[in-house]
Structure 1
Amino acid sequence: MLLSYNDCKETNLSFRVIYPNGTIEPINISRDKSGIQPLNFCPVNSPVGYLDPITSFAIETTKGKFILVTYTVAGDIKNSSTYNDYTMLIDLYGNIHSITLLGPSYVDNNNNWIPGQNFILPNVNNNRGFLYRSLTYNNVFNLTQWIINDDLSLSNITAEMILPNYAQFLPIATVDGDYMIIFTNSTNSINSSRDPYSPQGGIYGIYCEYKSNIVREPVILYQSTNPLNISSMECRINYSGVGNVCLISLQPNSTTSSTSRFIKINFLSQGSLFNVTPTIMNSANGIMSLRFGGYFYHNTVDQPSTTSIWGYVLDDNGILHNWTLNYPTEINYYGLRQVLTNNTVVMVQPTVNQTWGLITTDLYKVYNRDNPYDNILITNTTPTIGQNNIAANKINFITITYAIPVALSDGTITIFQSNDGFGIVRQNVSGSDENYVKLSDNNTVRVEVINSTFNNPGKTYHIMIANNFVVSRLYKEPLYGLNNYVWNFKTAEEGNVSEPSKIQEWLLNSIDGKVKLTLDGTEYFDNLTRTNKQEGFFNRLTKELADALSIASVQITTTKRYQIDTKVPDKSPKQYILSININNASGRADLIADYLDIMIRNKPITALASDYISQYLDQTYGYVIIRKYSIS
């Protein structure tokens, strides 16, 4: 969002969504629709400079991609103690899904309202919400964790975590699904020692576990016997290696140093330090690690209405690679810039007469320049990205080959069938499940595919790899996974089949069968029987089975009949057998029956395990066909 200082006339929220294919879609939300008070649209002249009360953050959830907008609501505009910060969840079509109170807005000891002191950090796992940081009236940081529920409301899942207002306070998300709070002390050591050999400056980290507000002791990431004059610090997941990386730019200290330095600090998710690389270099006021290796190294100089930027890629040998833009390039006064996962840098042009555009260039790729996975640690897969006309019945396994030796862990790999923008889960298995996942060698993972997974010919499938599916064999550190829709391929259309006879067509179009409930399922069903709600049980079960098989709901039916299984051993608890039939199957009833049997017998790795009713199906029983009669 772009606002000119002292201009409060524009009271609309205006965003531009840039899609991977280059298209740009606008989102415009009027104040009548948002309900945001006018005070949020005026930059505030605070003791620390002009500040915008409205901030926005991109976040991805299991339900899709959204924007979180934070702003302030004043109970009494003349009384800053009544100011509270809220967040609004907006989808990429401009629909507002929820509005949530976050807490009091920051007011200093002189009753000055200082907006924009809050910060939202999405978790690396899109089902774990975000970390929220705010500044309190007594000048300490307050951290809480939030999740976005299935109904798109927000819930606070931790009590407050209070931390001092450290210098260079920087929260980051770690690959293991937790957080690390990075901070600096650039004048005195934490122990305030007068010993000349004790640290006079350092960089530290506090591990923050998901769903926990326990404050742990800081770990040392870097220390110096001289005070540190830090001009910029950027920390994030090391996408081109293992763990996390902090990139620190140090300006010369007149008493101890006359040269600029750049320090790279590599550490694992819980703070274990394993590499520190100092480099003497020209000064920079911004540096960012890149997914294809190296670092986006840039300098900016503010002009009256624009910002000048010089950009390079710094490789691991200290060599600077020029970008293809002019030196300098003029960008918007706010210096808005973003590096995409494919190493393209996107910047906003200077605004002229309320019109602006984008400047883009592809940055130099240090490693694996042709990698299509947005993850250079993955070098190859079977099937390959974009592969077409794969015979579905020939896919008995999938493989992933990594650039470094790996060990299996408990993250998941999920196979989806595409369905009008939504993915239908066909198979979901943990890396620690040795029944389905094995290492072919130190670098290659092999995942067994059950026959029901690719049961629909001519369909597109995509595979998502969660973080921590594998870990580095050397460091035991979780590796970054593979986002949805990157690894996709298409199965072949069904071949021609001979015309069946009338009796064969009847047999192939419909099958009567039965399933069995577990002990828990039988108890649950009995409770429904007493309240006359078993019809809803059958209706929901048939829908869940059809959805899991990715077939039309009319193809799975039931007579709603049930009986006690009489073949269980004497004195065993009772279990119910239920009627489940396959109809209108267009000659594929036998295949659907086979797929259903396979899915139930492999229930823990299919969608049936997480559905409300189908989780109660007995996987040892499967789906049993009730034979009509056979023909030769």
Structure 2
Amino acid sequence: PIPETPSTPRVLNIDNYEDGTIVVRIVRLNYTAPPKFCLEENLSIRTIYPNGTVKGFDLSADTLNIQPFNFCLLSKFNPLRFYPVKKNFLFLTYAEAEDVNNPFTYNDWGMIIDLDGVIKSKFWLGTSFVNTTTNEWLPAQDSIRLNIHRDNGFLRTAPITSTNSMILQQFKVNENGEIQLLAKSYMNFTATPVETVATMDGGYAIIYPGITPSSTIPFAPYISIHGFFLQNGNPEPQGPFVLYQTPNPVSKIILLDCGFTKVGFGQTCILVLNVAPATDQNTFIKMDFLSTGTVYNITIFQNPADLTDFAIMPLDYGGYLLFSTAPNLDKTKLNLYGYILDDNSKRYNWNISYPTITNFIGDILILPNNTLVIPQPESGQTWGLITTDLYKIEGARDHGYGNLHIFNTTPIIGDTIDPSGIESLTIKFYSKVNLSPYRNVTILQDGGIIRQITSVSNDNGNFVEAIDDYTIKIKVIDSTFNQPNTKYYVLIDDGFVESKDLQEPIIGIQDNAWNFNTTQQEVTQKSISTFYETKLNESSINGKVRLTAEGTTYFKSFKHDKIKRKEFFDNLTQELAKAVPVGPERITTNYRHEIDTSASPEQYIISINIKKAKNSNDSRSVNLVASDLNTLIKYKLITVIGSGVYTNYLDEEYGYEPIPRWLEEHLSSILGTIGLNIILLLFAYWVNIHLILIYYKK
């Protein structure tokens, strides 16, 4: 029977997305059967957004179609785990057994769930690991390493039963939440721990120790650190390369932790060991290496062995958090100890009580902004988290971009710009950089509307250039900032630039940190010219575009099919409206087409018309819309026109040509007539005055 009062909700795991959104798994104890702690058979997820909004979902084991043993925790293993693999998606790992009493029938599975609790897909990962000595199923033996850019997927590594081999699987999650296997590899290992790291070039490295017996001190071998490297989507590993070799025998490897660095270049591994004979000092060996496997820096320092069974977390602002937990008199609590350590063994304390209290699991988290998140002991029906800002060793390099390599930009963050006065963007870096080909700078309008995508490529024109060793300039076309009083932001691909000295890719900007606004639309005084312009903008524009040779061939394949021809025109006008952007009712067509006799080979000209605005939210004038369309088409290689299914068929050499309106065609005649009438009136007035003067003289 269900108890009248539910058991206390407890924080089991916490993780985060790149924008600082926190995901929390809440559990309730069902029963204990030592060494197992079995939970209520539900997946309860709460998402805490940076603005403080909290939402969540609760899914039963039946809804998930997950067997009950996944909800029982062992002392070191949690069969059911989640990973924030991509914006709005969680990757859930669990096991299925054909016969729960036979460990050799267990299989590992993965599931994608969105943050509303909707199951998107499931994927078989492989057979589960079994300890063949005890014939015992060991859950959660695999590890997941997210790509440096999460849209590119993740790496799963898992040991293979009865071997010294490991399977390496690269996966990607598409926009529909479907899991795709990109590549599969195998590697042998002879010692642990095995670490994986996402590399700055978009691939992965597998780091592991090698052991060479010492001839002088028994049970104190020499240690070497090796690395295999995988390109994203490529099953063929490169290496192994030797990253480091200890000059002296080692009594114990305490830990090995690796990650990509946001302060320096490439990747960093920290090896913590105790030399032989054992001392009260731990030796920290920091290895900085490139995505190619080249080690470019080794830092060694000593630190007192004052924390037992400690873990280490690298910090985005430099240094590391060393921490450990110890039992509290209250078994629902743990004492949390720790401090920040830099590369010179200098310590920085956190600004809360020491030790501080956490819950019985103690799964802490560090957000990208150096905020430490600590689960609090639960009570009654309440759970909670506290946060504290850790010291930023390289905080002086932070100018708000989420990228410690960027010194400044033009425009600056939060600036207000006049669209008519901005012809380029600039980015200045702290270090010397080179441009990398086929990596983009993307300018977006608030709401995710792409305005311009620029990169260094052979067919992309001179839109990106290096001003000097530190500064990059990006040319901006006229249609990019075409909305007044609107927020825009700029994304920079990882690897858009690389270190000039090391040829290692540098991280970019993957959120809306670099943002700015356009000025309010000016209200001009009425005059003849503005009256004329107003009258023009109150009328529609009929115009035309030209299809490329490829587009013409495609159009000819169905031009006699009225339904398909209409579908083509309708889809084309919809894509054009989104590209400007204006309401879909403003870009229309009369479905006419004709052959351009001046083009060879044959190309079709088709009609595209622009209607006047009908509401204040879409007030852009027809002349400005026509100008934007012309610019967008002529620069299709760097705008969404070039990536549209239908707009990609438009000829950039032709652009958009308005058909002159009656007022425009007859403007000179009208002005001439008006001018002549004014002259005649003035002449008549002069004659009349002259006759009157003659009369009075008489």
Instruction: Check conservation: 1:415, 1:464, Cα contact below 8 A.
Output: yes
1:550 aligns with 2:572: no
1:494 aligns with 2:521: yes
AA aligned to 1:541 is: L
1:267 is matched with which residue?
A: 289
Distance change in 2, residues 1:335/1:210 (3 Å): same
1:383 aligns with 2:406: no
Q: 3-state SS of the aligned residue for 1:213?
A: coil
1:418 aligns with 2:451: no
Q: 3-state SS of the aligned residue for 1:323?
A: coil
AA aligned to 2:412 is: T
2:689 is matched with which residue?
A: none
Instruction: Check conservation: 1:121, 1:131, Cα contact below 8 A.
Output: yes
1:116 aligns with 2:144: no
1:107 aligns with 2:130: yes
2:628 is matched with which residue?
A: 595
Q: 3-state SS of the aligned residue for 2:238?
A: coil
1:221 is matched with which residue?
A: 243
Instruction: Check conservation: 2:436, 2:497, Cα contact below 8 A.
Output: yes
1:55 is matched with which residue?
A: 81
Q: TM-score, normalised by structure 1?
A: 0.91
AA aligned to 2:501 is: L
Q: 3-state SS of the aligned residue for 1:168?
A: coil
1:374 aligns with 2:405: no
**Matches of 1:335 and 1:372, distance apart in 2:** 30
1:513 aligns with 2:513: no
For residues 617-628 of structure 1, what are the structure 2 equivalents within 5 Å?
617-628=650-661
1:92 aligns with 2:115: yes
Distance change in 2, residues 1:334/1:621 (3 Å): same
Instruction: Check conservation: 1:247, 1:288, Cα contact below 8 A.
Output: no
1:528 is matched with which residue?
A: 558
2:153 counterpart (129, 136, 159): 129
By how many angstroms is 1:96 displaced? 2.4
1:314 is matched with which residue?
A: 341
| Higher mean C-alpha displacement, 349-358 vs 435-444 | 349-358
Distance change in 2, residues 1:18/1:594 (3 Å): same
Q: 3-state SS of the aligned residue for 2:304?
A: coil
**Matches of 2:476 and 2:174, distance apart in 1:** 31
Distance change in 2, residues 1:494/1:201 (3 Å): same
1:337 is matched with which residue?
A: 364
1:230 aligns with 2:253: yes
**Matches of 1:606 and 1:246, distance apart in 2:** 41
For residues 12-411 of structure 1, what are the structure 2 equivalents within 5 Å?
12-44=42-74, 49-60=75-86, 64-109=87-132, 110-139=134-163, 140-164=165-189, 166-185=191-210, 187-188=211-212, 200-225=222-247, 226-227=249-250, 229-253=252-276, 255=277, 259-283=281-305, 284=307, 285-302=310-327, 304-353=331-380, 355-369=382-396, 371-388=399-416, 390-410=417-437, 411=439
Instruction: Check conservation: 2:167, 2:184, Cα contact below 8 A.
Output: no
Q: 3-state SS of the aligned residue for 2:594?
A: strand
1:565 is matched with which residue?
A: 596
Q: 3-state SS of the aligned residue for 1:281?
A: strand
AA aligned to 1:615 is: N
**Matches of 1:119 and 1:564, distance apart in 2:** 60
Q: 3-state SS of the aligned residue for 1:241?
A: coil
2:603 is matched with which residue?
A: 575
Per-residue deviation, residues 41-96 of structure 1 (Å, max 9, x unmatched):
1124xxxx452210111122xxx332111112223333433322222222223332
By how many angstroms is 1:498 displaced? 5.2
**Matches of 1:398 and 1:174, distance apart in 2:** 28
Alpha-carbon RMSD? 2.6
| Higher mean C-alpha displacement, 150-159 vs 408-417 | 150-159
| Higher mean C-alpha displacement, 151-160 vs 305-314 | 305-314
Q: Higher helix fraction: Structure 1 or Structure 2?
A: 2
Q: Percent identity?
A: 37
Distance change in 2, residues 1:9/1:244 (3 Å): closer
Gaps spanning 5+ residues in structure 1: where?
A: none
Gaps spanning 5+ residues in structure 2: where?
A: 1-10, 13-26, 614-618, 672-698
AA aligned to 1:55 is: R
Q: 3-state SS of the aligned residue for 2:557?
A: helix
Per-residue deviation, residues 172-218 of structure 1 (Å, max 9, x unmatched):
11111111111112x327xx99999x982111111111111113321
Larger radius of gyration: 2
**Matches of 2:610 and 2:631, distance apart in 1:** 15
Distance change in 2, residues 1:293/1:159 (3 Å): closer
Per-residue deviation, residues 107-126 of structure 1 (Å, max 9, x unmatched):
33254221112222221123
| Higher mean C-alpha displacement, 4-13 vs 320-329 | 4-13
Distance change in 2, residues 1:91/1:515 (3 Å): same
AA aligned to 1:145 is: Q
Instruction: Check conservation: 1:252, 1:258, Cα contact below 8 A.
Output: no
Instruction: Check conservation: 1:508, 1:587, Cα contact below 8 A.
Output: no
By how many angstroms is 1:228 displaced? 5.9
By how many angstroms is 1:258 displaced? 5.3
Instruction: Check conservation: 1:230, 1:251, Cα contact below 8 A.
Output: yes
Equivalenced residue count is 613
**Matches of 1:233 and 1:209, distance apart in 2:** 22
Instruction: Check conservation: 1:505, 1:587, Cα contact below 8 A.
Output: no
Instruction: Check conservation: 1:123, 1:177, Cα contact below 8 A.
Output: yes
Distance change in 2, residues 1:56/1:566 (3 Å): same
